[in-house]
Amino acid sequence: MEIPVDLGYGARPSELRQWDREFLWHPFTYLQEWLSPEFEIPVIARGEGAYLFDAEGRRLIDGNASIWCNVHGHGHPKIVAAVREQLERFAHSSFLGFSHPPGILLARRLIEEHLGKWGFRRVFFSESGSNGIEAALRMALQWQILSGHPERRRFVAFRRSYHGDSLGANSVTGLAAFKAFLGQSGYPVVWLDDPGQLEEIEGAESIAGLILEPVIAGAAAMVPWPDGTLTRCREWCDRHGGLFVHDEVFTGFGRTGKMFGFEHEACPADILVLGKALSGGVGPLSATVVTDRVFAPFARAESIEQNFLYGHSYAGHAVACAGGLACLDVFAEEQVVSRLAGPIAALTESLAELAQRPGIKEVRQRGFAAAVEVVEEPGTTAQTNYGRIQGRRVTRECWRLGLAARSIGNSVIVVLPLCATEDVVREAVRIIGEANERIGDS
Ligand SMILES: Cc1ncc(COP(=O)(O)O)c(C=O)c1O
């Protein structure tokens, strides 16, 4: 029997699941499982703080922070009010040759309150992390041309990386799972496994830039970089004339325990890309932020072609920018980053306990980003039997137990909204342990 939950839209959960199976194709989703009639498609009806509520009214911890975008929780009154107010003024105009108050104010606050002290001066808005990265790569290439180095056409990137799905962003993405069928298309890349290989790069004079996700490789299932990685890359770029690009689409806005990941080594880039949490988790928005040195030759450009001819219809979306302004208010007013020390410690403690249990291969954590790698079931791999691999089965069980988790391979990701309390953190980790044991016993 269906419990009546107000889903809006005058639809019942069973109808919605049926229409979903019939009409939709979801991103990064294993279709064999999704389309099978036994699979209960997770339908989200509502969000509140660190929780999501499904179509049956079940409360779930948002264990993936809504694909790493949510920071202050669902329905934060300040963010909701700001979004509503902007929506009533206008939702979207254009950032191509026009401007608007929330865009201007968000850029100003990002620079004046957070990034100016690290040498950043200009904000270029796009509408997704991938496009923010794409903009950064194109800026780097064009900057090299405008600076008299058209021969600098290659990028240095790490094999353990994910930087997005557009062809350009994908070409600097190293993880094989995200490059299926594409191979190496887009920009030419020199691949490194770790920063120790920087000195082995041949033809450094043809490098336009180096791209790195600071502190932790998120989509590699939360693999931390060795301390000193940023400084090492910065030094190499300075010595060889490449621009240093930081992808903080995931690590930005408190995720690693500091407002931005690069602050751990006090080592800023020439181009910084922000996304996901930038809008407060309410709408698509990213920012490619540059120093004066990067901006200068574009500002001096005489021909239209020398300008940066790039941008999409929804770039600098006004409602998303309004969400971003309110998001920065909440960071300041609620002292979110310093208050995070407690939940981070609770995460470390509960992961350490979980790591002692059978069936757990490894736990990894940096700040408020973590993963629990479970022991692989013999004979099942993501390549041969994705639906049966332990990580997938554990996340499905987590759902039943009250945690909306997502796995990458056999790693269950623990990325909670920053507003999650210590109790919520402990409960999320406890559920992963219980789910893994239940699957192990079944
Ligand atoms: C580090 C990093 N860069 C870029 C992206 C791409 O962002 P988007 O999915 O908004 O295009 C992601 C998405 O997960 C990411 O984690």
Q: What pLDDT, on the 0 to 100 scale, is given for residue 323?
A: 98
Cα 273 to ligand 1 centre (Å): 10
Q: Is 219 in the pocket of ligand 1 (CB under 6 A)?
A: yes
pLDDT band at 185 (very low <50, low <70, confident <90, very high): confident
Ligand 1 site-directed mutation target among 222, 225, 250, most atoms within 8 Å of CB = 250
Kindly report, residue by residue over 44-82, the tens digit of the pLDDT.
Answer: 999 999 999 999 999 999 999 999 999 999 999 999 999
Residue 43: Cβ within 10 Å count:
15
Q: What pLDDT, on the 0 to 100 scale, is given for residue 385?
A: 66
Cα 213 to ligand 1 centre (Å): 10
pLDDT beyond 80 at 84:
yes
Q: Which has the closest alpha carbon to 232: 270, 191, 194, 195? A: 195
Share of the chain above pLDDT 70, in %: 97
Q: Is 133 in the pocket of ligand 1 (CB under 6 A)?
A: yes
CA distances from 192 to 155, 222, 274 (A): 11, 18, 23
Cα 169 to ligand 1 centre (Å): 9
pLDDT beyond 90 at 27:
yes
Cα 163 to ligand 1 centre (Å): 6
Q: What pLDDT, on the 0 to 100 scale, is given for residue 6?
A: 83
Residue that is written with structure tokens 């090492």 in the block: 232
Kindly report, residue by residue over 209-230, the tens digit of the pLDDT.
Answer: 999 999 999 999 999 999 999 9
Q: What pLDDT, on the 0 to 100 scale, is given for residue 440?
A: 77
Kindly report, residue by residue over 361-403, the tens digit of the pLDDT.
Answer: 999 999 999 999 999 877 766 666 666 688 999 999 999 999 9
Cα 164 to ligand 1 centre (Å): 5
Contact 307, 89 (CB under 8 A): no
* Ligand 1 atom 3, closest CA: 163
Atom index in ligand 1 nearest the CA of residue 67 equals 14
Residue that is written with structure tokens 């043809």 in the block: 206
pLDDT band at 204 (very low <50, low <70, confident <90, very high): very high
Sequence letter at residue 433: G
Residue 77: Cβ within 10 Å count:
9
CA distance 128 to 125: 9
Cα 338 to ligand 1 centre (Å): 25
Length of the chain equals 442
Q: Is 134 in the pocket of ligand 1 (CB under 6 A)?
A: no
Kindly report, residue by residue over 123-145, the tens digit of the pLDDT.
Answer: 999 999 999 999 999 999 999 99
Kindly report, residue by residue over 292-316, the tens digit of the pLDDT.
Answer: 999 999 999 999 999 999 999 999 9
Q: Is 129 in the pocket of ligand 1 (CB under 6 A)?
A: yes
Kindly report, residue by residue over 325-351, the tens digit of the pLDDT.
Answer: 999 999 999 999 999 999 999 999 999
Domain architecture of the chain: domains with CATH = 13-72+337-441 (3.90.1150.10), 79-333 (3.40.640.10)
Atom index in ligand 1 nearest the CA of residue 133 equals 4
Output the average pLDDT for the chain.
Answer: 95
Span 106-112, average pLDDT: 98
pLDDT band at 16 (very low <50, low <70, confident <90, very high): very high
Q: Is 76 in the pocket of ligand 1 (CB under 6 A)?
A: no
pLDDT band at 181 (very low <50, low <70, confident <90, very high): confident
Residue 41: Cβ within 10 Å count:
18
DSSP 158-213: ETT----SSHHHHHT---GGGSTTT-S-SS-EEEESSGGGGGG-S-GGGEEEEEE-
pLDDT beyond 80 at 122:
yes
Cα 219 to ligand 1 centre (Å): 9
Q: What pLDDT, on the 0 to 100 scale, is given for residue 222?
A: 98
Contact 138, 309 (CB under 8 A): no
Q: What pLDDT, on the 0 to 100 scale, is given for residue 67?
A: 98
Contact 51, 59 (CB under 8 A): yes
Q: What pLDDT, on the 0 to 100 scale, is given for residue 390?
A: 87
Q: What pLDDT, on the 0 to 100 scale, is given for residue 381?
A: 66
Q: Is 170 in the pocket of ligand 1 (CB under 6 A)?
A: no
CA distance 159 to 174: 4
Q: Which has the closest alpha carbon to 316: 113, 135, 120, 46? A: 135
Ligand 1 site-directed mutation target among 158, 170, 276, 314, most atoms within 8 Å of CB = 276
pLDDT beyond 80 at 26:
yes
DSSP 278-313: GGTSSS--EEEEEEHHHHHHHHT--SGGGS-----T
Sheet containing 243-248: give its strands across. 120-126, 286-291, 271-274, 243-248, 207-212, 154-158, 189-192
